[in-house]
Amino acid sequence: MSALTRNEAQLRAQLIDVQHYAVTLDLTGGEDTFESTTVIRFTARTAADTFVELKPDELHSAELDGSPLDPADLADNRLALTGLGEGPHELRLATRMRYSRTGEGLHRFTDPADGETYVYTQMFMDDIQRVFPAFDQPDLKAVFEFTVTAPAHWTVLANGITERVGDREGDGAGIWKSAPTPVISTYLAAVAAGPWHSVRTEHAGLPFGIHCRRSLAPHLDADAEEILSVTTACYDRYHEKFSEPYPFDSYDQAFVPEFNAGAMENPGLVTFRDEYVFRSAVTDTQRQRRAMTISHEMAHMWFGDLVTLRWWDDIWLNESFAEYMGYQTVTEATRFTGTWTEFAMDRKPWGYDADQRPSTHPVAPDPDAVPDTASALLNFDGISYAKGASALRQLVAWLGEKDFLAGINTHFTRHKFANASLADLVESLAAHTDRDVHAWAEIWLRTTGIDTLTPRIEESHGGWTLTVDHRGTRPHHIGVGLYDREPDDTLECRELLTVDVPSDEILSFSGPRPALLLLNDGDFGYAKIRLDRSSIDTALRDLSALPGPLTRAVVWNSLRDMVRDGELEPAAYLATAGAHLPAEADLAIVQSVLGFTRHHIADHYLAPEDRTEALATLTSIARALLRRTEDGSDPGLRLSAVRALIDAATQPDTLAAWLEDDTVPGGPELDPELRWRILARLSVLGAVGEREIDAALAADPSATGREGAARCRAALPAAEAKAAAWERLFRDDSLSNYLFSATAQGFWQPEQAELVREYVPRFYTEAIALGARRGPAIAEAAGRYAFPGHAVDEDNLRAGRAALDDPALVPALRRKLVDQLDDLARALRVRSA
């Protein structure tokens, strides 16, 4: 399969304009394939040769301007169009396409709960070619219309409003047509079909709808008011911010099964992973995360859908802006006012970590660094999302929100329904400020790596001075908090300064130095923050006494970075968590610190002989949180504590008793998520077997039940269970993306290192073959979930580095291996330090 190169895309955009796609899909033909017929109207600017892309199971026929083309000329997902004359043309192609089981193209899913089937498209990057032929690049925008024949009891959704226009004679299959879209890019075209359960309303004169599979109907209905409230509140807030109105005819949100991403911004038909339809109890932080995803995808209606990148080097124009706007708008428009703390604790470390790996790249890479679609796919990471959003937050702090929004609105007006680049955006911003936005963009968006800011305090008689040591290249506009210890052992903010770094200025203060001095207080900057020695002592002793969750988040992230850089012992971080989490009020902080402690400190950074003690500390924290929430005052915190206690258990007795009683003493009662979580941990500990897993699956025969059972079976500490799981992972190519990931998650367990030792070197050769065979989605999943990260040793590192030289290694897996091996090397350095 050929990846489209940037040079090829630029040449084709000079040769042709595309006006219209009329796509006809027949979804009634069977479980494996569907029929797809496409008519494309386009214009050649001059006499030219070009090509159209498609990946069919079979190309039945092709006609250009009424003359047949030879289907045998299809080669490497391209059909040549030669001898085009200047002027309008019509291309007609009839194909049979193959359904996907990996979340790419037209994904087909049969719900084990009721036997109903659903299909939905994920056209992103170059997967439209798996559904219908296209001139597949973002700057060849066109109008899309769909005609879909589907089983009689199905509903069809698309980018535009759909209508059932008739029934097919003979079997009563429904024939659906969609309204034509405005001009959009190929990767944004979308269809979703099945017996959806729908909740519909109208807002601002437009139809709004939310949709899920029928088996999730009660859970969607329970949350419909909240989902629609968030949706309409964000919609209204964006119309206050943006001068261009929402540009499409409807707003549907479909929660679809086995979705690879969090969501996809298809105009008029946003698709979400249906884990966002909560079938078990969740914390308010999880609800906040769903709200942010809704807001993020709606921001894309402007950033990406109305104005689209010209080529994939500018993906930050989509993702960084949607990430920033998503968090900011949820904070402004909904009850979720703590989103920036969650960003600090969850998203920002994602960006920090990515920016310190060999695979790092600029937020806005040089176009030559993204030569084709295969390389572009690798840049959807913590840099394009979290670092880019952090850079924008810093830009807003520097420019002021008024000038920032004025520039954004100029950008929309200049480029609506068209394509734009970094240079176009910078010009729009520069029109509304005297600041040098061009220089800012070069420094912040064209460079890699993360700066480090360290305070240097000199005390003298009657006062003290502050300078900020700056290791890096970027300017920073940050807050500096000065905190004093009060007689009641709380910490109070004496003063909050605004400082520009770098600067030769020495700040002088009278009186005693503060107990804690915190750079980047408020978390508007993007840099690693170090504490002076006295402030470290204060933080370790009094962290929970700091006012304001964002302030505490900055300190926690500083300690996290110090552990990763070998400057703070993992045991010290563990002890700090034990001392301060039981009193922490912010759920995002609790969840993030527990997660880092469990999965990084206990499983990777501490020596194996110290792991049991670390898990005991986590258990102690969880029990303290359970005691604190016995009165029912904070069910979300209690749920987080229960989850942490399950995951850290080293003995089965307590968990087995909870499972037997179907409840945690004092609550909560066990729902499906908690039952499967307990069963997974008991499987690791060898306290249950196939019989108990089969019984649990019989009680919960849902899709998540199947995934839970797959995870548990792979986690069983028996040679035959591991062999069977390995066979499913690397031999059974029918395994769906979600069942593959669940099996991989269960396979490697630190407690079972000896049992699975023989599989560690086998992973590399078998994963490389799997990725080449099954494509980028499974390759990425293999690198993410099936990597033997528990084996923190030089043998594993050497085997992995040798695998990077294998010419069969596909880009998606190579990128994951590079990142995983860098994390493995870091864990070894932390242990040795």
Contacts of 499 (CB under 8 A, 6+ apart): 468, 477, 478, 479, 480, 507, 519
Helix then strand count (H, E) for the chain reads 27, 28
764: pLDDT strictly greater than 90: yes
Beta bridge partners of residue 492, listed in sequence order: 484
Q: Are residues 479 and 359 in the same domain?
A: no
Q: Which two tokens stand for residue 485?
A: 């210890």
Q: What is the DSSP string of 510-565?
A: ESPPPSEEEETTTS-S-SEE---HHHHHHHHHHGGGSSSHHHHHHHHHHHHHHHHT
Taking alpha carbons only, the member of 18, 13, 192, 178 closest to residue 90 is: 18
80 has a pLDDT exceeding 70: yes
Same domain, 341 and 440: yes
609 CB neighbour count, 10 Å cutoff: 7
Task: Give me the number of domains the chain comprises.
Answer: 4
75 located within any domain: yes
Alpha carbon 713 to its chain centroid, in Å, reads 27
pLDDT, one tens digit per residue, over 403-422 is 999 999 999 999 999 999 99
Q: What is the mean pLDDT of residues 576-580?
A: 97
Residue 740: per-residue pLDDT = 98
Give me the pLDDT at residue 489, please. Answer: 86
**Which among 765, 759, 707, 697 has a CA at the least distance from the CA of 735?**
707
User: Last residue of a domain, which of 529, 555, 581?
Assistant: 555
Domain final residue pick, 535, 555, 575:
555
What's the order of all strands across the beta sheet hosting 516-519?
Answer: 491-501, 476-485, 516-519
3-class state of residue 752 by DSSP = helix
CATH number of the CATH domain containing 367 = 1.10.390.10
pLDDT for 2: 83
**Residues 185 and 71 grouped into a single domain:** yes
Average pLDDT of the residues in 549-575: 98
**What φ, ψ does residue 399 adopt, rounded to 5°?**
-80, -35
* For residues 461-475, average pLDDT: 94
3-state secondary structure 445-512: HCCCCCCEEEEEEEEECCEEEEEEEEECCCCEEEEEEEEEECCCCCEEEEEEEEEEECCCCCEEEECC
Average pLDDT score over residue span 818-831: 98
Q: Is residue 302 part of a domain?
A: no
> 436 and 313 in one domain?
yes
* Active-site residue list: 297
Burial class (CB in 10 A: 0-12, 13-18, 19+), 464: middle
Structure tokens at 126: 């170059």
Pair 438, 491 in one domain = no
State residue 397's pLDDT score: 92
Residue type, 211: H
CB 506 within 8 A of CB 465: yes
pLDDT in tens, 512-522: 999 999 999 99
Q: Name every residue whose Cβ is closer than 8 Å to that of residue 658 and which is 6 or more positions away in sequence.
A: 664, 670, 678
Residue count of the chain, please give it. Answer: 833
By the 8 A CB rule, do 438 and 417 touch?
A: no
C-alpha distances (whole Å) from 83 to each of 7, 49, 64, 70 are 20, 6, 11, 14
CA distance 672 to 702: 10
Beta bridge partners, 256, equal 273
| CA–CA gap between residue 290 and residue 275 (Å, rounded) | 10
Cα-based distances in Å from 385 to 295, 363, 382, 396, 533: 14, 9, 5, 16, 33
d(CA 243, CA 405): 10
Pick from 322, 419, 430, 427: nearest CA to 380: 322
Looking at this protein, which amino acid is placed at residue 641? A
Whole-angstrom distance, CA of residue 139 vs CA of residue 488 = 62
Q: Is residue 682 part of a domain?
A: no
Structure tokens at 530: 């170090």
pLDDT at 504 over 90: no
Could you give the CA distance from residue 667 to residue 2 in angstroms, rounded to a whole number? 55
Residue 781: inside a domain, yes or no?
yes
Query: Would you call 802 helix, strand, or coil by DSSP?
Result: helix
73 and 181 share a domain? yes
Same domain membership, residue 374 and residue 467: no
| Domain interval for residue 330 | 307-445
* Residues 155 and 20 occupy one common structural domain: yes
pLDDT tens-digit readout, 783-799: 999 999 999 999 999 99
Give the integer Cα–Cα distance in Å for 377 and 385.
13
Whether 495 and 413 share a structural domain = no
Give all strands (DSSP E) within 168-299, no chain letters: 174-178, 191-194, 197-203, 206-212, 251-256, 263-264, 269-273
Kindly report the three-state secondary structure assignment for every residue of 121-155.
EECCCCHHHHCCCECCCCCCCEEEEEEEEECCCCE
Q: What is the pLDDT of residues 587-642, one digit of tens each?
A: 999 999 999 999 999 999 999 999 999 999 999 999 999 999 999 999 999 999 99
CA distance 369 to 359: 12
Inter-helix orientation angle 776-785/759-774, to 10°: 160
Asked if residue 485 belongs to a domain, the reply is: yes
pLDDT at 713 > cutoff 70: yes
C-alpha span between 350 and 387 (Å, rounded): 8
Judge whether 610 lies within some domain: no
The residues, any chain, with a CB within 8 Å of residue 299's CB and separated by 6 or more, are: 238, 321, 322, 325, 326, 329
The CATH number assigned to the domain holding 37 equals 2.60.40.1730
CA distance 185 to 13: 13
Residue 248, pLDDT score? 98
Which tokens go with 526? 């993007």
Q: 């937020």: which residue's tokens?
A: 363
Number of Cβ within 10 Å of residue 542's Cβ equals: 19
- CB of 258 within 8 A of CB of 738? yes
Amino acid identity for residue 811 in this structure: P
Mean pLDDT (the chain, rounded) = 97
Q: Based on the domain organization, do 316 and 433 belong to the same domain? A: yes
Q: Compute how many other C-beta atoms are within 10 angstroms of the C-beta atom of residue 245.
A: 10
**For a pLDDT cut of 70, what percent of the chain falls above it?**
100
Mean pLDDT of 92-119: 98
Where do runs of H (alpha helix) occur along 400-436? 401-415, 422-430
What local confidence, expressed as pLDDT, does residue 518 receive?
A: 98
Phi, psi (deg, nearest 5) at residue 528 = -75, 135
Decide if 627 is inside a domain: no
C-alpha dist (Å) from residue 411 to 124, 308, 310, 629, 831: 24, 11, 14, 50, 49
d(CA 255, CA 157): 12
**536 and 388 part of one domain:** no
Residue 794 token pair: 């030089």
* Residue 138 and residue 50 share a domain: yes
Q: Confidence band (pLDDT; 50, 70, 90) for 1?
A: low
Q: Considering the domain boundaries, does residue 266 fall inside one?
A: no
Both tokens of 170, joined, read 């003979």
Q: Note the pLDDT of residue 461.
A: 85
Check if the beta carbon of residue 316 is closer than 8 Å to that of residue 363. Answer: yes
CATH number at residue 518: 2.60.40
Q: Measured between alpha carbons, how far is residue 382 from residues 286, 300, 755 in Å?
A: 19, 18, 34
**Exposure string for 59-71, b = 16+ CB within 10 A, e = fewer:** beebebeeeebeb
State percent of the chain over pLDDT 90.
Answer: 98
Q: Pairing relation of β-strands 491-501 and 307-309?
A: unpaired
Q: Give the DSSP H or E segment for 527.
A: none
Q: Helical H runs in 300-343? A: 316-333, 339-342
d(CA 542, CA 576): 9
pLDDT band at 703 (very low <50, low <70, confident <90, very high): very high
Our CA angle for 797, 798, 799, nearest 5°, is 95
Helix (H) or strand (E) holding 610: none
| CA atoms of 821 and 352, how far apart (whole Å) | 17
